[in-house]
Amino acid sequence: MALFFILLLGFISIVTALLMVFFSGKMIPFADANGQVLPGSLSEKSWVPINGVEMGMIIKTRDQTRPVLLFVHGGPGMPEYWLNESHPSHLEELFTVVWWDQRGAGLSYSDAIPPETMTTTQMVADTISVTQYLRQRFRQDKIYLMAHSFGTYIGIQAAAQAPELYHAYIGVAQSVNLALSEELAYEFMLDFYVNDKKNRELLKKAPYGTAAYERIRDRVMHEAGIGTTHKMYSVIAGIFLAVMKHREYMLKEKFHIWQGKAFSKNSVLNDEFRQANLSDIVTRLNIPVLFFSGAYDYTVNHLLTEVYLEEIKAPKKHFYLFEDSAHSPIFEEPEVVLEILKDLIL
């Protein structure tokens, strides 16, 4: 009996240690070779009142005097800081990076948020308000605005409304016309799975636009290498488990990521995004514009993105196609991205 209790105590100790590692939620600072925190660095999780909602953000930098980069994540409702652990972007090498969780998402999730506030107009206003907060906090007249996937739908509208706040706009997997992009992805997968009878039959029985297709969409896209990253073949391993084992999120915050994703997906915002065509909404930007697209990206079709940039009027604009990336070139080919961004800053 004594041996049993000793073993049980040992098991409990191991589980407790693992929980402390995986669910402590403490931010990991930037440190030198001796483990000393780098002077002037910042590794912070904080909440700020923005337009009536406590909004969470993670701020990372090796030097707080560097230019501020506000990252507007995808989804709707899916923060991306967790992906920066398995696929380091190294953006903090150049910037003070602000991984902001949008209204109703992740660190900003609350069941007290009125669903009627989950609109495009409100999200654009939130982006501008967060920008104003960051300008004041870091004493910078302008910041850089980077948006990804769904976030580009919000981010580009914020940049168009308030160009005086930004040095430049960087659209990663810039959305244009989601409905057409999704239709093209479906057609691509029918060809891709031509020798995979099981998946091809599933797709034919669950055509684009049906609830049945939505249930299999993420799996078949990732297995085809056209999802989050070109080499992320499993949604469970690549996304769900990556979020749940992330050391800088508390357990409650991890659950809020999934609650926020569901909340945002069932919002008016999601309906607006799915029906929108940005070619009719934003036709001019009065700041430099960079679009980053992956050659394997069918989540947001890169050909539509390139054509859209040709139509936009801007003082400077450039389209970059990343040959080894799918939907997330800043995480898939970070070295190339950093070289481009160095030139942008200079």
3-class state of residue 289 by DSSP: strand
**Cis peptide leading into residue 88 (ω within 30°):** no
pLDDT in tens, the chain (346 residues): 555 445 545 544 444 444 445 567 899 998 988 889 999 999 999 999 999 999 999 999 999 999 999 999 999 999 999 999 999 999 999 999 999 999 999 999 999 999 999 999 999 999 999 999 999 999 999 999 999 999 999 999 999 999 999 999 999 999 999 999 999 999 999 999 999 999 999 999 988 888 899 999 999 999 999 999 999 999 899 999 999 999 999 999 999 999 999 999 999 998 999 899 999 999 999 999 999 999 999 999 999 999 999 999 999 999 999 999 999 999 999 999 999 999 999 8
DSSP string, 235-275: HIIIIIHHHHT-TTSBHHHHHHHHHHHHHHHTSHHHHHHHH
- Listed by start position, the domains of the chain span 42-177+251-345
Q: Domain 42-177+251-345, what fold?
A: Rossmann fold (3.40.50)
SS3 287: coil
Strands (E), the chain: 42-50, 53-61, 68-72, 96-100, 143-148, 166-172, 289-294, 317-322
Task: Indicate the pTM of the whole model.
Answer: 0.91
Residue type, position 235, single letter: V
Phi, psi (rounded to 5 degrees) for 300: -125, 110
